[in-house]
Structure 1
Amino acid sequence: MIKLHEGRTYVINNEKIAKLDEQVRITPDEAVKNTMTYAILEKHNTSGNMKNLQLKFDSMGVYDNTYVGILQTARASGLKEFDIPCVFTNCHNCLCAVGGTINADVHKYALSACQKYGGIYVPPHQAVIHQYMREMIVKSGDMSIVSDSHTRYGTQGSLSIGEGGPELVKQMIGKGYALDYPKVIAVFFKGQPKSYVGPMDVALNIIKAVFKNGFVKNKVLEFVGPGVEGLSMDFRNGIDTMTTESTCLSSIWTTDEKVAEYFTIHGRPDAYKKMKPGSVALYDGVIEVDLDKVVPSIALPFHPSNVYAIDDVIANPKDIFAEVEKEARRVFENNNIELNLMDKISKDGIKVDQGVVAGCCAGSFENIYLMNKIAEKSQKRLGDFGLNVYPASQPIMYELNKVGALNSLIEKGTRIKTAFCGPCFGAGDTPGNNDFSIRHTTRNFPNREGSNPATGQIASVALMDARSIAATAFNGGILTSAKDYSFDVEVPKYEFNDKVYKNVVYNGFGNPKPEVEMVYGPDIKDWPEMEALTDNLLLKVASVIRDEVTTTDELIPSGETASYRSNPYKISEFTLIRKDPNYVGKAKATQVYEKARIANDVEKAAEYYEVLKTLGNETPVEQLMKTTGIGSILYAKRPGDGSAREYAASCQKVLGGLANICIEYATKRYRSNCINWGMLPFTYDDDNIDLMVDDYLYLPNIRSLVAEGATEVEGIIIRNGETRNIVLKLENVSEAEREVLLAGSLINFYKDEF
């Protein structure tokens, strides 16, 4: 089904894979330039150096989980107006279930910002951000940056990137996006998927093949080959969105008549440009996918890469579920709770409790239309199985209703809901305790569905394609492959009703109104003041996490927590709450002493500096207070997998966090977030690092070392009156990043500049 070609590999005429030793009449350097990626990056690079890029994007997007913090930072950094289209959607916290008036308050805040600075405001329930960007904003050959990890518009021919909020701030105030030229991996499609196979089936099997081995980490995926042209746009979009879970940087696809038709349908025919690699294109590796051999698949808890054929799970549930339960015991070892999937095995098959089809990868016209066709073939009712379907935009909902698919699904018991990202991250349709939920959404990380292990709750989510979810739902909730409903259906031509947007979307791009006053609700707060990096640092270890990967959901939980997103003080109280409930208390206890240092409280600060006497350091407290900052530090092996949400880093900083130590950062965006919030991004190769909670780490001369571009920093660990040296790496920190670290945060850096 999938074959990985490691090392530099050619694609010839978009039809054939060839290794370097085969004869080609072109140099490797020229062949690299024949990729679509090179052409787009060259067009958008302003540095004049293709190794060290400074990119200027064509558009950007933010949404209600992120835009308050981003805009507050941009305003503090000198924002005047948006010089490229900037879309504000409201698709993550529409339900107002938690936090009082906060959700509506931030929506008013965003509308006033769009009026003042010339933005585009999409009201709640109209569209999830990525669907709106595809439909109305991006173009072939362009680049967009959006504050969400699932920013993937490669199927439209747009090489777009999901990033943390501070990187959006840079674009808002006219700064570049720094990026070393990335490696590029071709995804070579051949064949044609079976009628019962959907985009999630293809995506999950790609993720399974490349996630654990890091084959595509921080690289661009370029989708090529003869198999692309046989896929509909909705099918392509469904695969494209899920590439984020492979840990790649971005994606780009060849474009053809179907892409041209897509833009024409949405009233933007001029946005289309034919794109494909040159006749001989050289890649850093190739993923060869035989679409004919893909089968309906399922990603069991707790990661999209934990993939099995659905038929295999049905045939052998006990052994497979035993492995999942074993992993659950490891994940929840500190919560004294236990997942029991074995209870789902009955004489009729595997009982599933809930199904959800939602968001940027699933809520398409084609997916939902075909779900209804499967429902029409079944004589069974849903019963107690809860099936929840969210079209990705109101125009999609309008068209599904017009062709009768929605009424048919509703009649059969399906709950049709408006455009909302909530189920994808635990802000809607949270299943019951120990329930088994199957979802065509983006992730099935631990507790991402909204359960809270700290209160004894546990649930499990498996990812499946909408076709197999419908097959399961309309088989009485018994796990079923869409293969059992094999059929050929002609999907009607989609018609886009632009009035749905025109009547409610505020489009102020190019027409800023600086006289407009920003609307602030009572829980919209500015970021706290942040100190510049001091000469020395004395840090206390607040948490040590030895899991192989720590997700952003574990660093700062999603779901109801996000209701407090516009108040950095409140949301920071939830940092690591589901992974290490002691973290917040320990970080705040250390921060007390930093606040005393800043307030010139000699007596209080002296208590903390007492530990330095272990080193024979007798520097007067008054001098230490001027030269030695106090903070906390977090260790995790590979932190930052998953979301682009900056709160995973900024909440640590609000609590006084000044550094992370890890083997490697799971994503570029999390590392960037750490740097942009002034937290030192240390690495240490040995995963058996001798580090414990409540250890002290003294970093002498740290400011000078950062300023000089040092790649190694020698520190001293202090534990129970004993000391030892440790050498931490501070690698690949650019000059611009060093300046941000020295300033103490991106906000400080731009304040100094302006």
Structure 2
Amino acid sequence: MKYQTFSSLEVNNKTYSAIGFDKLADEYDLSRLPFCIKILLENLIRHEHTDFVAEKDIQTIATWDTADTEDHEISFVPARVILQDFTGVPAIVDLAAMRDAVNRLGGDAQSINPLNPVELVIDHSVMVDHFGGEDSFSKNTAIEVERNKERYQFLKWGQSSFDNFKVVPPGRGIVHQVNLEYLARCVFATEQGDETLVYPDTLVGTDSHTTMINGLGVLGWGVGGIEAEAAMLGQPVTMLLPKVVGFKLKGKLKPGVTATDMVLTITEQLRAHGVVGKFVEFFGPGLGSLTTADRATIANMAPEYGATCGIFPLDDVALDYLRLTGRDEQQIALVEAYAKQTGLWHDDNTKDAQYHETLELDLDEVVPSVAGPKRPQDRVALDNAAQAYSKWLSQQIDVAEVSEEAKFVSEGGTAPDVDEEHASYVRIGDEAFNLEDGAVVIAAITSCTNTSNPSVLIAAGLVAKKAAELGMTRKPWVKTSLAPGSQVVTQYLEDAGLMPHLEALGFNLVGYGCTTCIGNSGPLPDAIEGAIRKAKLSVTSVLSGNRNFEGRIHPDVAANYLASPPLVVAYALAGNMKMDIANSPLGKDRNGNDVYLKDLWPSQEQIQQYIADNVSGELFKAKYADVFKGSEVWNELNVSDATVYDWPDSTYIQHPPFFETMSTTPEPVSTIEGARCLVKVGDSITTDHISPAGSIAPQSPAGEYLQSLGVTPEHFNSYGSRRGNHEVMMRGTFANVRLKNQLAPGTSGSATTHFPSGDAMSIYHAAMRYKEEQVPAIVIGGKEYGTGSSRDWAAKGPSLMGVQAVVAESFERIHRSNLIGMGILPLQFKQGESAESLGIEGNEKFSIASVSAGQKTTTMTINKADGGQLSVELLVRIDTANEFTYYQHGGILHYVIREYLKAG
């Protein structure tokens, strides 16, 4: 081993051992390296003894030439893996099925265990069924446990059966905030014989927003569940050495401008620049003005601006946060000493690194903003939001069908009198009104991006306090909710005396978990849903989350806006996106006086004083003292003690068929012959369009399947909660109500045409028919295929449907990796070519030549319905040697099983 050296590190009379850069530093100027690349370098040196790290890999990073245009493959071994329950359940299901497979093929089933620490936080299962009441939290929690009992029993079995696997029970917080506030180490310490080896805390997670931890100087990002499972089992994450974009921050935010406004501005700027597949590293004099919570807000939204990660350095700000959150003093001292000794520390004397590209933002120029109506990068300045929404609304096809009585009168006009005969008429309790276009029917302070940040939560509480004191209330059609990322949030809001005011406006606690942002917004009141549908209204949601893709928040809500928590409160008071809340009154006080946003907005000094008085390390210590201890209901769940899971009869957890027919050796890679196109789509198809998410419609294939088993619609739960049942998930693949399959013009959702019969049917039924006919299937897409969440079922579902290749103009990083992980071939049209330019209609027969290791292109032969033939050269998007190995084996987990069998 040419470069591996160890150095001694003394911290408070305890001695540690660390990988040093000594030998490299003698030859190369390592100060040129970005912070994130130094972490990758340490990782390579530490694993120099393995067969997946070559001397050249280390030298390539050490020489760090940003002018180098060659692709360099490297391996990365994360220190740990983090899961949330939606993506974590199928990961543990797969591990259980792998034990079955190893057992069947003659190996030791118990050898299948996570080799690195794995922590799962149950946070995606709570739904906002009840809201606006004192008992909303307890009612939602009771429903959550009832709905998910079978899943929770399975996870408890996994915790007791697998080594290195811990579960944070439901009701404790959201995975990213628990990670930030408690789980993150910043520096790992592992006992190795007589020594304690220290190294950077790194991770991968089965949620795209794993990047939130980058705000604390921890390198990690979201991967598909398949790739995470392999990392659990000791496989390196293979990747191309990333391009690193340096993002220079200077100045500081003006009073009245929030971290949310800042991140929406950064997201817009980075998306416009193009950072897909790249690392983004933040630096510059503006760093010092940002707290770790501010930094985490930016890092969280790396998937929204398209980067693999959005990293901040280890510095005094990070140490301050570790103290604020009650971390052990020895650990804090170790983080500082280790970072300074290894050159991972950042201060005013740190030399700027060399980046492939550099962007800049003056924080002084950030203005209050929202983003919408359909994408996080579509930022709109708050004082232009009403006008922008009205313009968007005027472009919608159905708007002309809405009668004048149902439209909101803007620009100082007055709404029409209540018309009981009109389709938009609603009565809820003592309130009667006509629902209007632009009505904010959901206002959600939801977890993830913002609720880790006390500054915006305290601001929301102070806005609510002032509004409640003036006698203002939310509009009766607004479904309000507060779903914080951890129990710490509600505690400091209560200690500050702000919770009663939030509750007065309907922002009662509904649960601790990922709710509105992932489609767990729950049902709207029946009268509201009825009015929307009958009057064909275009209504809106405002949420403090990170995702607002079409059809994601609620199927009846056409336009969705991301905003800071205090603005969510303001929109609940205003009640309509057509209102210019920056300049027009939000409403009236109890004396009939106009109240403007500026009248409610707290000063920066007031916010900081509330934080200083109510947010402390002791609070964090108290709330996390028993984080792995669940409620009485959780602790009373009975679980199997079998090593190999006994797969009880369940509609939530079923034995997946991925390994049922596999042998000890893989079949040779072959040509895809005579395939048919199952789905043909345009640009920006997200994993939300592909992977089942949200509610299950009774008339859908998944709904029909559940009803055939005696499950009534009120007990369907969500697709996410049923990710451990492949039968449900396969039927829900490509079933998003907003999916527009070009093979079924004029339709949306799960609809396609079977060829050559021409029969119209659901995508699932067409896939099953092709399988019966032994005809392989392909999918054809446009640009940015697979953007969005790191959903493994966006690859697992198509695999079970018989899809053998996806041909697109470009892919999002995680989804491309997931396709390979499930044995699906990702192919890309050459620059300037597309299905449209090549005249591909989707009714043709497709044959794709087999690919071999290192092959960059392949040929697709297209036999047209009229007898013509076309040959197209496609790029093979298997980017690394390891990825080809996984594809060759039919998937990454098949490869791992065979490796375990070889070793055992």
TM range (shorter): 0.7 to 0.9
Matched letter for residue 553 of structure 2: E
- Deviation track 1:177-224 (CA, whole Å, cap 9, x = no partner) reads 01111111122111111231111111111121221441x221111111
1: CA distance, partners of 2:84 / 2:412: 43
1:748/1:690 CA distance change after superposition, 3 Å? farther
- Deviation track 1:634-662 (CA, whole Å, cap 9, x = no partner) reads 43432111100111111111111111000
C-alpha contact (below 8 Å) 1:339/1:458 kept by paired residues: no
Partner of 1:447: 551
1: CA distance, partners of 2:863 / 2:247: 46
Alpha-carbon distance, 1:29 to partner: 7.8
- Deviation track 1:676-722 (CA, whole Å, cap 9, x = no partner) reads 0111101113122322233210234x1xx335635223434342443
1: CA distance, partners of 2:401 / 2:81: 42
Q: Is 2:226 the partner of 1:166? A: yes
Partner of 2:732: 574
- Deviation track 1:254-298 (CA, whole Å, cap 9, x = no partner) reads 333332122123324415445328414111122211111111011
C-alpha contact (below 8 Å) 2:204/2:210 kept by paired residues: yes
1: CA distance, partners of 2:305 / 2:176: 18
Partner of 2:502: 409
* TM-score (normalizing by structure 1): 0.82
Q: Is 2:346 the partner of 1:276? A: yes
2: CA distance, partners of 1:376 / 1:734: 55
Q: Secondary structure of the residue that 1:65 maps to in structure 2?
A: helix
Partner of 1:90: 122
Match of 2:694 among 551, 556, 559: 559
Alpha-carbon distance, 1:516 to partner: 5.7
Matched letter for residue 581 of structure 2: T
Alpha-carbon distance, 1:120 to partner: 1.5
Alpha-carbon distance, 1:586 to partner: 4.7
Q: Secondary structure of the residue that 1:145 maps to in structure 2?
A: strand
1:568/1:716 CA distance change after superposition, 3 Å? same
2: CA distance, partners of 1:260 / 1:221: 22
Partner of 1:225: 284
Q: Secondary structure of the residue that 2:541 maps to in structure 1?
A: strand
1: CA distance, partners of 2:263 / 2:162: 38
Match of 1:52 among 50, 70, 73: 73
Match of 1:437 among 541, 545, 554: 541
Partner of 2:327: 267
Partner of 2:34: 35
1:422/1:533 CA distance change after superposition, 3 Å? farther
Q: Secondary structure of the residue that 1:641 maps to in structure 2?
A: coil
1: CA distance, partners of 2:626 / 2:644: 24
Match of 2:561 among 455, 462, 465: 462
Q: Is 2:498 the partner of 1:498? A: no
2: CA distance, partners of 1:714 / 1:680: 12
- Once the two structures are overlaid, the 10-residue window that deviates more, 79-88 or 139-148, is 79-88
- Once the two structures are overlaid, the 10-residue window that deviates more, 633-642 or 267-276, is 267-276
1:82/1:162 CA distance change after superposition, 3 Å? same
RMSD: 3.2
* TM-score (normalizing by structure 2): 0.69
Partner of 2:374: 302
Alpha-carbon distance, 1:587 to partner: 5.7
Q: Is 2:390 the partner of 1:321? A: yes
Match of 1:120 among 146, 151, 166: 166
Matched letter for residue 396 of structure 1: V
Q: Is 2:515 the partner of 1:422? A: yes
List aligned pairs for 1:379-394, cutoff 5 A. Answer: 379=470, 380-384=472-476, 385-394=478-487
Matched letter for residue 610 of structure 2: V
1:566/1:486 CA distance change after superposition, 3 Å? same
2: CA distance, partners of 1:251 / 1:210: 11
1: CA distance, partners of 2:690 / 2:513: 23
2: CA distance, partners of 1:75 / 1:53: 30
1: CA distance, partners of 2:394 / 2:405: 7
Q: Secondary structure of the residue that 1:303 maps to in structure 2?
A: coil
Q: Is 2:245 the partner of 1:178? A: no
Matched letter for residue 694 of structure 1: N
Structure 2: runs of 5 or more not aligned = 1-24, 48-52, 62-71, 100-110, 130-142, 187-199, 340-344, 414-437, 533-537, 583-596, 631-639, 696-718, 742-749, 753-760
Match of 1:251 among 310, 326, 337: 310
2: CA distance, partners of 1:203 / 1:124: 29
Partner of 1:662: 808
2: CA distance, partners of 1:743 / 1:576: 26
Alpha-carbon distance, 1:356 to partner: 1.0
1:652/1:340 CA distance change after superposition, 3 Å? farther
Q: Percent identity?
A: 20
Matched letter for residue 134 of structure 1: L
Partner of 2:819: 674
- Deviation track 1:437-488 (CA, whole Å, cap 9, x = no partner) reads 111101111011021xxxxx34311111122223333456655246562523
C-alpha contact (below 8 Å) 2:384/2:580 kept by paired residues: no
Partner of 2:177: 131
**How many pairs align?**
674
Q: Secondary structure of the residue that 1:415 maps to in structure 2?
A: coil
Match of 1:648 among 787, 794, 797: 794
Alpha-carbon distance, 1:352 to partner: 3.3
Partner of 1:71: 92
C-alpha contact (below 8 Å) 1:395/1:498 kept by paired residues: no
Alpha-carbon distance, 1:245 to partner: 0.4
C-alpha contact (below 8 Å) 2:93/2:724 kept by paired residues: no
Alpha-carbon distance, 1:80 to partner: 3.2
1: CA distance, partners of 2:503 / 2:282: 37
C-alpha contact (below 8 Å) 2:733/2:764 kept by paired residues: no
Matched letter for residue 300 of structure 1: G
1:160/1:36 CA distance change after superposition, 3 Å? same
- Deviation track 1:471-514 (CA, whole Å, cap 9, x = no partner) reads 3334566552465625231232312343434435159xxxxx99
2: CA distance, partners of 1:642 / 1:559: 15
Q: Is 2:461 the partner of 1:368? A: no
C-alpha contact (below 8 Å) 1:243/1:251 kept by paired residues: yes
2: CA distance, partners of 1:479 / 1:104: 45
Alpha-carbon distance, 1:32 to partner: 7.1
Q: Secondary structure of the residue that 1:498 maps to in structure 2?
A: helix
Alpha-carbon distance, 1:519 to partner: 7.2
Partner of 2:445: 357
1: CA distance, partners of 2:404 / 2:87: 35
Q: Secondary structure of the residue that 1:572 maps to in structure 2?
A: helix
Alpha-carbon distance, 1:28 to partner: 14
Q: Secondary structure of the residue that 2:356 maps to in structure 1?
A: strand
Match of 1:104 among 145, 149, 159: 149
- Deviation track 1:103-154 (CA, whole Å, cap 9, x = no partner) reads 2211221122122213121111211010111122223342111101111211
Partner of 2:570: 471
Matched letter for residue 94 of structure 2: T
Q: Secondary structure of the residue that 1:144 maps to in structure 2?
A: strand
C-alpha contact (below 8 Å) 2:128/2:521 kept by paired residues: no
Partner of 1:541: 677
2: CA distance, partners of 1:231 / 1:497: 21
1:504/1:279 CA distance change after superposition, 3 Å? closer
List aligned pairs for 1:518-529, cutoff 5 A. Answer: 518=645, 520=647, 522-523=650-651, 524-529=653-658
